[in-house]
Structure 1
Amino acid sequence: MKPGLSLRVSQHLTLTPQLQQSIRLLRLSTLELGQEVEQMLADNPFLERNPDEASREEFGLAQADTPPPEEPYADWAAPVSSTSSADSSQATLTEAEQGNSDSSSTEVLDWEGDGSVDMAPDDSEWGGDAPACSRGTDEEMDVSATDLAHGHESLAAFLHRQTVGLRLSPEDKAALYFLIESLNEDGYLEDSLESLAQGLAGEEHSDDIEELLHHFTVALHLLQTLEPTGVGARHLAECLTLQLAALAAHPAPAIPPETIALALRICQQPLEGLARRDVRRLAQTCGATEEQTRAAMALIARLEPRPGRPFISVERNAIIPDVLVRRMGHGQAGHQFSVQLNPEVMPRLRIHDIYAGALRGRRQDEGHQALQQRLQEARWFIKNIQQRFDTILRVSQAIVERQKNFFVHGELAMRPLVLRDIADELGLHESTISRVITAKYMATPQGTYELKYFFGSGLGTDSGGNASSTAVRALIKQFIAAENPAKPLSDNQLAEMLKEQGIECARRTVAKYREGLKIPTATLRKTL
């Protein structure tokens, strides 16, 4: 084979560090973004929080390439506008994801950007309309959901408080403490006493297992006498039995004792029959009439299958929306909506003026280049965060415009919407839209929803149009809510009712939507 030289020209996509960071920030949730900001503040000395308010009319993303002010160390400001978006800031991200870049240069491995050492006025501050944290005289009246969650008493703390007055030996007290700490959040003891004793004693002290097992048995009996009733159960049947036994010891006047006794016998049977509501078989097994069995099953249905439910922390259920949608006006004018970013989730950052000024007066050497790169990194971080929220705002505005009927009439008015519709309208790639709508939330007059909620496929109609799958789910839920509890609608009947509305929906699709709504089958919905 004869060696030779050849020259070939080709195009390839180059992802610079700032572009990679922009893509990564776009897919982060609000919580993850806050963690990223805290990490950057700890790592980069040129980045700091800005506690002051900024004028939002002075600067914006459009001034990103304007020359810096002549005064050294002047305050730079670039809050994002909640009513406008900058299409130019999206060009780099869009071209990178669509593969339309025609650059043939080598890969950039630093944060030098275009090579300039000066930066636009808009990289010193961002998030101008986020109010500073203030401590007024009414502080006790303004309690967040997180503060309430932190002040919520846990199940273990509630049980430990009940054991203070018990007279127990040190061994039994320690065993009871161990069992309380071994409960799951629902109040169940998932591990058997034998496994707990073996794990605590270890292989080297196997002779102590019997003694530990005795203390655990005594402690379990004490634990199951504490409130809430049913705590310490090892399975559902035992949990229901504990509650029925407590009810039998102190019966209510409206509940006959024979109903409680029958309910106890039902709980001793396999729970599959109770789950299927097989009244006839349970009546034959327990030696009772079907009417008595229905009354006992109704009593069981009123019990608490998860005793620890009231003590579960609510912090994880607190959602802070990224976008706020408000109705403007009333009547016909009320069909207009304003879309803006939530200032509570917008970080307010700026370049540290003193450090940046000290770097300008430093002589050019190897250390200067390293610090200049960190300064450029801080500037790109601020700009990428601003671009992230601008993209979220643009996508949210497009969603509100497409789904305006939903914000007026609710779920039944939802229209089919796919990623390509928004991507084509905004000139972005579908992957960008996918990153934006994931783990981002919108507060609307209808409630708070994830942006992904507004997207859904369409089902064919008799008129030749499409009906949103979200609207079909809402229609199914409406049919089931209005059904006769004694004769609930089957999936076939629901499919026929949708067909009468002009929507072609197969029975399997109806079953899938019903299961997605967490609605049980017709057999389980039937009243006793």
Structure 2
Amino acid sequence: MKQRLSPATQQHLVLTPQLRQAIRLLQLSAAELEAEVAEAVASNPLLDWQDDGALVDPPVTAGAVPASPEPASGDIETAPDEHWETDTEEWQASGSAPAGRDDGSEVEQPDTEESLQDHLLWQLHLGHFSPRDTRIGIALIDAIDDDGYLREDLATLAASLRADIDATPAEMLPVLHRIQQFDPVGVGARDLGECLCLQLQALPADTPARALALSIAAGPLPQLPKLGIDGVSALLGCPPAAAEAAVQLLRTLDPRPGAQHGALPAGSYIRPDCVVWRQQGLWQVALAGGALPRVTIQRDYQQMIRHASSCDADYLRGHLQEARWLLKGLEARADTLLRVVRCLVREQAAFLEFGPQALRPLTLRSVAADLGLHESTVSRAIARKYVRTPRGTLALRDFFASGIGTDDGGSASSTAIQNRIRQLVAGENPRKPLSDARLADTLKAEGVPVARRTVAKYREALQIPASHERMRIG
């Protein structure tokens, strides 16, 4: 075959350094963005934190919503609400300052106490464990979840750790038993029954109903809601009064012993990127304090470029270009984020007004089409982003929901349907709980045709047990 050259025209996307940086900045959370900017300020001599009231060139906050933002186009009119409008000034903070400066920004911080893993590791290192048992203990503690349970099977855990720790499940079990004696009592249990047994064993031996409660926790605990007091009494051959006392003792125990130490490590927090409030019947959107780090280019270094040697000038010009790219990327991020949040508020005003039951079906595609953006851009804009509203701090993903067509030609969001299922279950007769089929029939009667398997899927997503497990007798 004879080879020859022929010209051809084709189009392809080239990601410039500026575009790559803009994409990376867009998908960062507020805390990650602050860390990114702090690192840039430390490494680039032309960047510096902007002082309050200083005249800067160029202004970093260009394009951001000012302290008293004008209503965005398409803002939704709603009935006035005295309670939400009294704190208008509190919701209008914008801009940010370097880490450590008190700028009045809203920050959701968990308790600074140590995490459950830190608490258990502290006890592990205080104990008299051999080096090998210490390594096994570290692996076991790492597998314990925030509720204090070891959900993973020992055989599976041993297989996954074979490269680091060549230990069999039988060798890991004694270490697990020692960890189960740590504080909080009941930690390291593999199921609820074992968790309650560990707590009962820690009680004094003369505790009333302790022995019978141990028998229930180690035996018919899963069937307790269905058996009732009389069924437990007949199964264990004890008087109903004794069974009642044992069940009351079980109710005083903690089914989630790790929750009290489940706080995130110190320094981890949620910082809202935007704030939403209502003023004179209109929903307003603005960047939250800290969402846009306030940095600027040092004017003195810019002037030095003119008088510096060629080598120094090239060095400074390179950093100047990087600084300008960063500032443009921050402005582009703020502009895109505000556009997306304004669209979400416009589409989900009823959600902010009435709660999850009023959430409308909304997808990334519809928001992207409305804003003239790509779906991936919208996805990056809402990733790990939060907005502070009169209903609390919400993730931007909470504003999205898939939809199901209704009999009247409209549509209902999956979140609204799940909320209705939760309401129906909460109001059911505990002696005759609603089955998935009955829940589906009720929703159909309300104009929302859903299949039984769809109801089952939503019920499991809500962590609601099946009807036979919700049955209460006595």
Class of the TM-score when normalised by the shorter of the 2 chains: 0.7 to 0.9
Q: Map 1:52-91 onto structure 2 (within 5 A).
A: 52-53=52-53, 75-79=57-61, 80-82=63-65, 83=69
Per the alignment, residue 327 of structure 1 pairs with 278
- 1:498 Cα deviation from its structure 2 partner: 0.8
For residues 210-261 of structure 1, the C-alpha deviation after alignment (integer angstroms, 9 at most, x for no partner) is: 9xx99x89x949x83x76443576765443223224446353xxxxx3x433
Give, in whole Å, the separation in 1 of the partners of 2:72 and 2:352.
Answer: 26
Per the alignment, residue 450 of structure 2 pairs with 505
Q: Does the C-alpha gap of structure 1 residues 86 and 35 become closer, same or farther in structure 2, counting only changes over 3 Å?
A: farther
Correspondent of 1:311 among 243, 246, 261: 261
Identity among equivalent positions (%) equals: 40
SS in structure 2 at match of 1:343 = coil
Give, in whole Å, the separation in 1 of the partners of 2:419 and 2:364.
Answer: 22
The one-letter amino acid of 2:112's match is: A
How large is the RMSD of aligned CA atoms in angstroms?
4.4
For residues 124-179 of structure 1, the C-alpha deviation after alignment (integer angstroms, 9 at most, x for no partner) is: xxx9732567878xx9x999765841578963499699x9xxxxxx9699999999
Q: Map 1:120-269 onto structure 2 (within 5 A).
A: 129-130=95-96, 146=109, 148-150=111-113, 155-156=119-120, 183=141, 184=144, 220=178, 224=181, 228-231=184-187, 236-247=192-203, 249=205, 251=207, 257=208, 259-269=209-219
Q: Map 1:23-34 onto structure 2 (within 5 A).
A: 23-34=23-34
For normalisation by structure 2, the TM-score amounts to 0.75
Give, in whole Å, the separation in 1 of the partners of 2:247 and 2:454.
Answer: 32
Q: Does the C-alpha gap of structure 1 residues 502 and 340 become closer, same or farther in structure 2, counting only changes over 3 Å?
A: same
Per the alignment, residue 345 of structure 1 pairs with 291
For residues 338-363 of structure 1, the C-alpha deviation after alignment (integer angstroms, 9 at most, x for no partner) is: 11111223211111222222123224
Give, in whole Å, the separation in 2 of the partners of 1:175 and 1:4.
Answer: 68
Q: Does the C-alpha gap of structure 1 residues 48 and 295 become closer, same or farther in structure 2, counting only changes over 3 Å?
A: same
- 1:42 Cα deviation from its structure 2 partner: 3.2
User: Does the CA contact (< 8 Å) of 1:459 and 1:467 recur in 2?
Assistant: yes
Give, in whole Å, the separation in 2 of the partners of 1:135 and 1:298.
Answer: 51
User: Does the CA contact (< 8 Å) of 1:85 and 1:390 recur in 2?
Assistant: no
- 1:369 Cα deviation from its structure 2 partner: 3.4
The one-letter amino acid of 1:13's match is: L
Per the alignment, residue 359 of structure 1 pairs with 305
Give, in whole Å, the separation in 2 of the partners of 1:142 and 1:446.
Answer: 18
Give, in whole Å, the separation in 2 of the partners of 1:2 and 1:143.
Answer: 70
For normalisation by structure 1, the TM-score amounts to 0.68
Structure 1 gaps, min length 5: 56-73, 88-126, 164-169, 204-209, 252-256
Give, in whole Å, the separation in 2 of the partners of 1:434 and 1:478.
Answer: 31
Per the alignment, residue 105 of structure 1 pairs with none
| 1:437 pairs with 2:400 | no
- 1:398 Cα deviation from its structure 2 partner: 1.0
The one-letter amino acid of 1:45's match is: P
- 1:494 Cα deviation from its structure 2 partner: 1.1
Correspondent of 2:364 among 411, 419, 429: 419
Per the alignment, residue 438 of structure 2 pairs with 493
Q: Map 1:256-295 onto structure 2 (within 5 A).
A: 257=208, 259-269=209-219, 273=223, 277=226, 285-288=235-238
Q: Does the C-alpha gap of structure 1 residues 420 and 145 become closer, same or farther in structure 2, counting only changes over 3 Å?
A: closer
Give, in whole Å, the separation in 2 of the partners of 1:503 and 1:474.
Answer: 13
Structure 2 gaps, min length 5: 74-92
Whichever of the two has the greater Rg, that structure is: 1
Per the alignment, residue 104 of structure 1 pairs with none
Q: Does the C-alpha gap of structure 1 residues 469 and 234 become closer, same or farther in structure 2, counting only changes over 3 Å?
A: closer
User: Does the CA contact (< 8 Å) of 2:406 and 2:448 recur in 1?
Assistant: yes
The one-letter amino acid of 1:308's match is: G
SS in structure 2 at match of 1:52 = coil
Q: Does the C-alpha gap of structure 1 residues 38 and 172 become closer, same or farther in structure 2, counting only changes over 3 Å?
A: closer
For residues 166-198 of structure 1, the C-alpha deviation after alignment (integer angstroms, 9 at most, x for no partner) is: xxxx96999999999775565678999xx9xxx
The one-letter amino acid of 2:285's match is: V
| 1:384 pairs with 2:334 | no
User: Does the CA contact (< 8 Å) of 2:94 and 2:286 recur in 1?
Assistant: no
Give, in whole Å, the separation in 2 of the partners of 1:86 and 1:354.
Answer: 38
The one-letter amino acid of 1:230's match is: G
- 1:427 Cα deviation from its structure 2 partner: 1.5
Tell me which moved more, 35-44 or 458-467: 35-44
User: Does the CA contact (< 8 Å) of 2:433 and 2:470 recur in 1?
Assistant: yes
- 1:449 Cα deviation from its structure 2 partner: 1.7
The one-letter amino acid of 1:307's match is: P
